[in-house]
Structure 1
Amino acid sequence: MSARAAWRWCAVAGVVAFFCSWLFGQIPGLVACGPIGDLTPIIAFEFVRTPAEVALLFGSDPCRSALVAAQKTGLLLDEFGFIPAYTAFLILGALAAGSRGTLRTLTIVALAIAGLSDEIEGVLLYAILRDLPGTQSLLDPLWWAVHVKFALLALGTAGIGVALIAARKWLTGAFGLILLGGGLYALYGLTIFPRGSMMTGFVLAWFALLVAALIASFAPRLFSPRSS
């Protein structure tokens, strides 16, 4: 696949991913029944650690029933829409960024594993929803799936940033710095979680990648690596 084709497909996948992200906010009843700080109900559910925390998040009826239905809708959108879209978006971004060899291979592998971990996470969350508040035997592997996903997404995003910086052009370098900074900030946020600001790093980095993909789709020379 040529770099221009990779950028164009990256842009398409990115638009789909951001559209899916917008759809999450349109799900009726997606309101936590307990305190979640600065997190969204979906992120708060992903980071629950005990059945007691699940029970606190979902509260009692009628709020509980509405939130369960909303979370199930969100999981369907996540499993069949958002995860495939953002995984393709990031992997295509890694392919288009111009790096070769170990960096690109590690970045793509990290992003693929992150997407797989996210799918596994969705299966575990659905199992918890079927029999609230779930069991510790479900919540223990959920912790690993969630943390592996976010850690590898952060590292993969930073890897795309490094590849863009290595192209040695001012425009690619500017976008690369945003991706590198966003990925590292998200990784930092994960280590001191819970902090909703972790998601800010991803949003800024991924939006920068989408803008870069749109520009490169029509002006690929601006993003081609500089000759030595």
Structure 2
Amino acid sequence: MTRAERLLWIACAIAGLIALVIAPLFLAIPGIHGCIPVPEHGALVSFELVRSPEAVEALFAEQCRASLMVAMRQSLWLDGLAFIPAYTAFFILLLLALRRHGAAIAWAGIAAVAAGALCDQYEGLMLHVILADFPGDPDTFARLVPAVRGKFLALAIATALAGWLLARRAGLDRALGRVAALGGIVALAFVAGDRFVGVSLLGM
């Protein structure tokens, strides 16, 4: 392993740790859970997957609408300013560190990560628009849904490619790579079946 590769692995680990630290902060935002029964994946993921003004109104029950809107705005800022940059850095640094095992695959993975991050940021923008013009209009949802699909598709591809490269290494990395590659493939199947909740629960 070269010094440059070692530095990439260290930076990758730091970015991954930052993403792991940020992730639980979403659930710690006051009011983020809403005040009505929601699916097991929670109000936050439910909001990311809304597809109509009616679905938004149902999620943001009148008795807790104001507090949930504040919480959702906070979560969107946390996502856009911290979590998306952290997971993007993690993926890109990981793929750069794995270049020696397949440069073309690594660069394809980096392109997928960049596309996924852009879709994720655009998704957040559309969700901000929905909150500002509650409960949103059909045009906003027509732009939101492709962004959600694009995000999950791109990140599933990136995960599969990173796993593929990791599986070319020896020891524990090979086993972890196979698991990651399989996870990416399963996520692709979820996206193809329009089952975005399943992809979310895989950690994407």
Q: Normalising by the residue count of structure 2, what TM-score does the alignment of the two structures yield?
A: 0.91
Query: SS state of the match for residue 41, structure 2?
Result: coil
Judged with a 3 Å threshold, the aligned counterparts in structure 2 of structure 1 residues 194 and 40 are, in CA distance, closer, same or farther, namely: farther
Does the alignment pair 1:100 with 2:72? Answer: no
Secondary structure, aligned partner of 1:2: helix
Find out whether 1:59 has 2:61 as its counterpart.
yes
Residues 27 and 56 of structure 1: CA distance in aligned 2, closer, same or farther (over 3 Å): same
**1:115-153, CA deviations, whole angstroms, 9 ceiling, x for partnerless residues?**
111111111100110121011111111001111001110
Partners of 1:121 and 1:15 in 2: how far apart? 24
Identity of aligned residues (%): 36
Of 135, 145, 151, the match for 2:153: 151
Aligned residue pairs, count = 201
After superposition, the C-alpha distances for 1:146-175 in whole angstroms (9 at most, x for unaligned) are: 1100111011011000001123x1322111
The 5 Å alignment of 1:176-191 reads 176-191=177-192
Q: What is the CA distance between 1:84 and its match in structure 2? A: 0.3
1:32-87 per-residue CA deviation (whole Å, 9 max, x = no partner) reads 455542322221111111111111111213x1111101000001100100000000
Q: Do the aligned partners of residues 57 and 33 (structure 1) sit closer, same or farther apart at CA in structure 2, a change above 3 Å counting?
A: farther
Find 1:27's aligned residue among 26, 29, 34.
29
Aligned-pair Cα RMSD in Å: 1.7
Tell me the SS of whatever aligns to 1:142: helix
Matches within 5 A, 1:35-50: 35-50=37-52
Cα deviations by residue, 1:21-41 (Å, 9 ceiling, x for unpaired): 011111010114555423222
Distance 1:33 1:58, change over 3 A: farther
Measured in 1, the distance between the counterparts of 2:39 and 2:192 equals 17
Equivalent position amino acid for 2:89 in 1: A
Q: Does 2:165 correspond to 1:166?
A: no
- Kept in 1: contact 2:41–2:201 (CA 8 A): no
Q: TM-score, normalised by structure 1?
A: 0.82
- 1:69/1:78 CA distance change after superposition, 3 Å: same
Structure 1: distance between partners of 2:188 and 2:178: 15
Runs of 4+ that moved beyond 6 A: none
Structure 2 Cα separation of the partners of residues 179 and 78 of structure 1: 23
In 2, the alpha carbon distance for the partners of 1:66 and 1:23 equals 17
- Residues 202/113 of structure 1: CA separation in 2 closer, same or farther (3 Å cut): same
Which structure has more relative contact order (CA 8 Å, sep 6+)? It is 1
Work out whether residues 185 and 201 of structure 1, in 8 Å CA contact, stay in contact via their aligned partners in 2.
no
AA aligned to 2:175 is A
Unaligned runs of 5+ in 1: 204-228
Shift of the 48–91 alpha-carbon distance from structure 1 to 2, 3 Å rule, reads: same
Rounded to whole Å, the distance in 2 between the matches of 1:34 and 1:132 is 18
- Residue 34 to residue 51, structure 1, CA distance change in 2 (3 Å): farther
Alignment of 1:71-110 (within 5 A): 71-98=72-99, 99-110=101-112
Structure 2, unaligned stretches of length 5 or more? Answer: none
1:164 touches 1:173 (CA, 8 Å); kept in 2? yes
Give the conservation status (yes or no) of the 8 Å contact 1:3–1:96: yes
Pick closer, same or farther for the CA change 1:69–1:54 going to 2, 3 Å: same
- Per the alignment, residue 142 of structure 1 pairs with 144
